[in-house]
Chains A and B, each alone.
Chain A
Amino acid sequence: MSTPLLEVRGIGKHYGRVVALRDISASVHAGEVTCVLGDNGAGKSTLIKILAGVHQHDEGAYLIDGAEIRLTSPRDALDRGIATVYQDLAMIPLMSVWRNFFLGSEPTLGFGPLRRFDVAKAKRTARSELAAMGIDIRDVDQSVGTLSGGERQSVAIARAVYFGARVLILDEPTSALGVKQAGMVLKYIVQARERGLGVVFITHNPHHAYPVGDHFIVLNRGRMIADGAKRDIGRDELTSLMAGGAELEALSHELEHGDGGLAEVAEQLEAEVERLH
């Protein structure tokens, strides 16, 4: 197999004496979607922050194109082609789509004091880039605040792709969205993969991860509890791992000792556990 674009080997991170992440190994290949699943507090955001250069790892190795590196800042990560699209998107609602698209990397014309923002080029490029990703925005002059949540995610993804990202890290891109909007974002994740990018898709929703993922890792309490390609992991297994099958069982036992209403809940939980096994 080819050298992965990005790879972590036995990576770990602690904040003071609190261990946030321990012994995580994963890799991202070009044209593949690697899904990182986990419940709240599983260590997903710590992992993203290490991958994106916000934090540095304390243990293990971080490799880009097979060479071990230590990222110094998010800018450093970006320069190496690792773009992160956070949940809050880094978009300014009151500014237009094209202004947001080029924010921080504006194309310019002219020299010295006459150096100016190449507005025509910015508008043209934003429009054509969005179109190339199949993103359907009526008017690049409209403010980002008027876009739907899914459209905003799509614009952020298109922006990262345009600025030369080779690895795209998506932090819960579908979590705040309705079914239809989430479907739209999943479509653009596939688009990015088709264009040869390596995608790291972080989510707590196995139903969103499964259709687009090529490889899955599941985190729980800072540790990796599963790691496998799509052919090795079924959708139900993934859901069970995510929900923490064992924990679910324990919860149902706990509830059984409760009164009428609770016992009923426990029964349903048990049925669910049964189904997942």
Chain B
Amino acid sequence: MTTAVPAADERLTDVDRFRRLIIRPELGAVAGAVIVFTFFAIQSPVFRSPAGVANWLDPASTLGIMAVAVALLMIGGEFDLSAGVLTGTTGLTLALLTVRFDWNVWPAMAFALVLALAIGFVNGFLVVRTRLPSFIITLSTFLMLQGINLGVTKYFTNTVSVGGIAQAPGYQAASAIFAKSVTIFGTQFRIAILWWIAVTALATWVLLRTRLGNWIFAAGGNAPAARSVGVPVTRTKIGLFMTTAFAAWLVGTILALKLTSVQANAGIGQEFEYIIAAVIGGCLLTGGYGSAIGATFGALIFGMVGKGIVYVGWDPDWYKFFLGILLLLAVLANNYVRKFAEESR
């Protein structure tokens, strides 16, 4: 068998190189983040100060962890509308077990993790078994969890929140790992930012450099075709739902330990923010395309816009309006990029 490897093809013109750059899914989000940062940094000295940066990185970090997991799921061709409320469920589980049942924080966290993974498994199992759209399956999970969160919290506390996690045994150690701040160059940064970076790096590596990553793209790009060449699509998809649930557990834990109390309605409405961040990051709603780094930059844009509006003294009521514009621009850009990537020449 000949193994002559042709050198770089001479027909690879600059146009092709440009094309390759522009079809990188995260390009739009990175450019958007630079523009948003520049805009607010010029307007507000606080925004660009280290303390200001730490301040807007904080909300971006928890959103970012979720956005990365949701991006993997979307690349795999599915949605999870229960991801937001699940951060509340895991937080409430941790709070109730420690406060009402006097558990140590660590076993309570482990219990919440098992619960989250089980919910993720059920989501995934129902989606692959029934072949119904994940949109509708996870919408019902969302509603059920919303009801359970409120019902169980009221049953045990007669109020709509559980507080006092800080008094539980094991809180100090757990908090140091998941919720405390670390001082870098004299500024306090939340440790969740490190978790966010770690999650992004791991997700990117899995997506681009492992077999599993290839299978995720294939499962979302064309599931029957992937199956026919031996890709375990069912396992991959269930695994992605469980990964999203894992991220919801991580974020639920971080928030519960940081705030030391959890509201019964925690996380509700956040699921759309995760999806929006992933879409701004270049994920196609139809699956098979996107990136983890893009989702991270999508979350970064979220964090910067949310805090930036306050720093420059605008009415924060307009926050959602800007978000809408960003989403629209992102979807239009993605649509264009997709055509570029798919079109026959």
Contact = CB atoms under 8 A, between A and B. Distances in A.
Given A103-B231, A127-B6, A146 B20 contact: no
Contacts of B226: 90, 92, 103-104
A4 to B, nearest CB: 24
A93 B2 contact: no
Interface size class of B (residues with CB under 8 A): 35 or more
Interface in B194-234: 205, 208-211, 213-215, 217-218, 221-222, 224-226, 228-231
A277 B30 CA distance: 69
A89 B213 CA distance: 21
B131 interface: no
A196 B6 CA distance: 25
Contacts, number: 108
Nearest to A159: B229
Nearest to A88: B225
A91 interface: yes
A42 B167 CA distance: 77
Contact of A132 (B3, B205, B341, B343): B3
A174 to B, nearest CB: 18
A10 B11 CA distance: 52
Contacts of B1: 132
A89 B6 CA distance: 26
A40 interface: no
B342 A143 contact: yes
B14 to A, nearest CB: 13
Interface residues of A, number: 37
Interface in A127-146: 127-128, 131-132, 138-139, 141-143, 145-146
Contacts of A117: 209-211, 213-214
Contact of A103 (B214, B288, B345): B214
B50 to A, nearest CB: 35
Given A94-B289, A102-B214, A138-B12, A128 B221 contact: no
A97 to B, nearest CB: 13
A52 B211 CA distance: 25
B317 interface: no
Contacts of B6: 127, 131
A90 B5 contact: no
A22 B296 CA distance: 59
B344 interface: yes
A147 interface: yes
A181 to B, nearest CB: 11
Interface in A24-46: none
A148 interface: yes
Contacts of B343: 145-146
Contacts of A105: 229-230
Interface in A170-194: none
B221 A95 contact: yes
B209 to A, nearest CB: 5
19 contacts: A74-B228, A86-B228, A92-B221, A92-B225, A94-B289, A103-B226, A104-B226, A104-B230, A108-B211, A115-B211, A116-B205, A117-B214, A127-B5, A132-B4, A139-B9, A143-B342, A145-B344, A146-B342, A147-B344
Q: Which 4 interchain pairs have the tightest Cβ spacing?
A: A145-B342, A92-B221, A104-B230, A104-B229
Interface of B: 1-6, 9, 11-12, 16, 20, 23, 205, 208-211, 213-215, 217-218, 221-222, 224-226, 228-231, 284, 288-289, 338, 341-345
Given A92-B226, A95-B221, A108-B211, 18 more contacts: A88-B224, A90-B228, A92-B217, A92-B218, A92-B288, A94-B217, A94-B289, A95-B217, A95-B288, A106-B214, A117-B210, A117-B213, A127-B5, A132-B1, A132-B3, A145-B343, A145-B344, A146-B343
